[in-house]
Amino acid sequence: VLASTSQRKEQLQNTKNLDDIRENKLLAALPSEIVDRLAPSFESVALPPFEVLYNYNEEVTHLYFPHKNTVVSALCTADEGVQVEVGLMGSESVVGFSGILGSASPYVQLVQVPGTGTRIAIAVAIAEFERGGRFQSLLLAYTHMLLVQVSQTALCNRIHSDPERLSRWLLLSDDRVQSHQLPLPRELLAKMLGQSQSSVSITSAILEKAGFIAYNGAEMTIINREGLEGVACSCYWLVKRHKEAF
C-alpha cells in the first residue's frame, strides 16, 4: 500500500507556477518578499494515497504544505504497534514542524486523501524561520492550532462514543476535501478511531443505517452531512472554531 520515497522523488518537479503554492493557506499568506526568497526552493510533489511522508522518529528532511483537497493524517504509535490518529492536516497545514527544531517526526505522517503539495528542504525552512518574520509567526500560529486539535482528540478518544467520534472525524475530513467521498480502507478507519476492524464495522453500520453515509469497506461517502453534524460530539465544533479563527 505504501509508495516508496524514490517514487515520490520521480514525481518531483520544480514549481514553475507560483499559483500552485497558493493552494496551501500558509504559503498563500506569505508576503511576496518571502515567496520570492523561497521560490527557488519550492518543489511540487504528488502525494499518493497512503504514502508515509514520515515514520515515527524519522529524520525530517522537508516541510510539506498540502494543497486543496489533500489530507495528511498524524498517527501516534505505541510499543505494541498500535497506531491512533491524533491530528488531521489539510491545506491549512504544514507537515514536519519538528524538523525546524532539529527533532525527528513525533508522528507517522500518512497521506489519507491523495492530492498534491509543495515542499521545502528543511535547511532552507530553518533559515527562513530564524529570520523571525511572517514565516515564523504563521508556522507558530499553525502549530498552536495543531496542539489544540491534538489535545481535543485526546479528550475525545477517552470520553466520546464511537458514532460521535466517527461523525466528528468524517466532518473534519469533509471540511478539507471537495468531494464527499473519502478513500478509507477498513484498516485505516480502525487507526483513525483507535478501534479493532470489527468495532469500526459496527460503528459505520450505525451511521449507514441512519442514512448518513455509505461505506463499501474501501470508500466512505457522506450522504447526509447535517445528520453527521447532529451526531458528532462538541469536539468537532471546538476544533473547527479554532481553525476558522486562525
Residues that bind Zn ion (CB under 5 A): 156, 160, 233, 235
Closest distance of CB 230 from Zn ion, Å: 14
Nearer to Zn ion, 139 or 235 (CB): 235
Closest distance of CB 135 from Zn ion, Å: 33
Closest distance of CB 199 from Zn ion, Å: 17
Nearer to Zn ion, 88 or 156 (CB): 156
Closest CA to 8 of 47, 59, 49: 47
> Do the beta carbons of residue 122 and residue 60 sit within 8 Å?
yes
> Do the beta carbons of residue 105 and residue 96 sit within 8 Å?
yes
Nearer to Zn ion, 121 or 150 (CB): 150
Please identify which residue in the block is written with the cell numbers 504497534: 81
Nearer to Zn ion, 145 or 156 (CB): 156
Query: Counting beta carbons within 10 angstroms of the beta carbon of residue 162, is it exposed (0 to 12), middle (13 to 18) or buried (19 or more)?
Result: middle
Q: What angle do CA 242, 126, 149 make, to 5 degrees?
A: 20
Closest distance of CB 85 from Zn ion, Å: 13
For residues 170 and 161, what is the distance between their CA atoms, to the nearest angstrom? Answer: 14
Closest distance of CB 146 from Zn ion, Å: 17
Closest distance of CB 145 from Zn ion, Å: 17
> Do the beta carbons of residue 159 and residue 136 sit within 8 Å?
no
Nearer to Zn ion, 117 or 163 (CB): 163
Residue 234: C-alpha distances to residues 83, 155, 229 (Å): 24, 11, 10
Nearer to Zn ion, 45 or 156 (CB): 156
Distance from the first to the final alpha carbon of the chain: 34
Parallel, antiparallel or unpaired: strands 181-183 and 219-222? antiparallel
